[in-house]
Chains A and B, each alone.
Chain A
Amino acid sequence: MTESDLTSTPGEPSHDDAAFFASVVAEVEQEAARRTEEGDYPRALLRRLDETFRRWIPEGGRSTGIDDAIRSIEAASYIDAGVPVESNRRAGTAVKTAVRKATYFYHRHMAQQIAALGIQITRPLRLLATTTRQLEQRIVALEDRVDLNVASRDELLAMLPDPLLDPPSYELISRHLAGVAGRILVGEVQGSGLVRHLVDAGLDAYGVGPTTDPHATLELSPEHLDEHLQRLEDGVLGGAVLVGAPDRLALNEQVRMIDSTVRRCGNDARVVVIATDPGHWGTRVGPVAADLTGSRPLHPATWRHLLERAGVSDTSISAGDDGIANIIVGTVRR
């Protein structure tokens, strides 16, 4: 259906607006997918916004919430002794005004005591808030020391390409995963090619990644891999393909990723790690990213060691068709 087929006469009553608008939405989704495939997708920008959101979203009880809560308590404990005197009846207003005048000295005295109590309550809360803020500043300083610059690292990471895989590599991966019982996680995906290939091969695959393409036909969730893994129960996955993330993470994150991925896999689940060979890393991403991201893909033997240490057997290493990526596969045995 073309765009002109879909446009309608202005103001014309439609008996099937819902169907018409649903077809427009389908076209809109196709347009978004087409723009994405053509490279219009502002990947770095959207990742930066996502990171900004994550950085500013408060954890429960962090100082932002405490400060606002204290301000609310202070406001609420400030009692106005001048009670309203409006009334439905004319005489009521006069009576209330007289009572207010007569009892004002009493109410003012009570209100002053309640306000003083409010101040006494909020004082230790302010002290607590200050301590929390100081702790937070120390943590941020510590993070800065171990992690060069979060914002610039995120921007650089967003621009790193996934390892290039050709159809023969896809075949190798789908053959290894064939026949697994359970869902197959692919993370973190930037494009949808591998997930699409696995689904076309009859596998129950889905992808997670912060910048997934908006393809309606595939199950792609815009999550970080580590957050997704935290949400899963142990032993629920039939297979897992780690791609992209192995290249982008720092050493401690890489080790944690392998351990938690294997934990989420059931017995006999198949695991695949696709990582750029460290020898080609610098030339592939350029010197700036190689120096500043703090990320460094591991040697294939190291990936194999980490997988085996986490409980993966029958491991093997293949070189990708481009000669740059390594594909390490294995089976979880418990």
Chain B
Amino acid sequence: MLEINDLVVRRDSKSPAVLNRISLSVRRGEKIAILGPSGAGKTTLFRTISGFLPILSGSVSVDGVEVSGLRGRRLRNLRSQIGMISQRHDLVDRLGVHQNVMAGALGRWTTVRALRFLLRPTPSELEEARRALSRVALERKLRSRTSDLSGGEHQRVAIARALVQQPLVLLADEPVASLDPILSGQILSLLCSLANENGFTLLCSLHQPDLAYEYFDRVIRIEAGKIASDEPRQPASSSAVEVAVGA
């Protein structure tokens, strides 16, 4: 599903490598936690997989498609297969919740349809947004302003957007970094259950080892741009809580 071989990424030609000869093989439907201190290269890894950063050497392929060298429509097609959510506020606050959610469909829409949706969404499009929001228990917020959402709701709308995108791989970059422990557990539980239901591969970067071992099949540690360890979940912590988010 996702194959990374000897990947080297630098910020510029003179700086040291942010990712240094990383190799990784991920199966379809796997749920992987990526642990590591700030600056270890977790975000760089995700941005490289999505084609936002140039690859100095090595290779990254998603579902058999080589990321390096992709441009224009082919790069957009690849990105539409890779969902991304992050700790950062990556929703557009001035758009409505339904507009942010349906932004997940931009990769498969024409520009004319995208512009028409901003002005006059059809009932079926609104229904699709409502369905995605109901999966994250936020359907009541369909017509709300994004700026009125709380931190946790913000993150769940980002997840709903990723669901509308129907990705093969979902990259969650520290999705619970700014949330309290209870909400963090709810969000991770939700992400894992959605990955199970939809069959997408989930890569999630975290700072908290306890959460990583509790919710994910496999835990990879990155330190100074290199993979320090790659191990399956410890049997003792297999009691992942199935929390009904917002219920």
Please say whether chains A and B are actual partners in one complex.
no
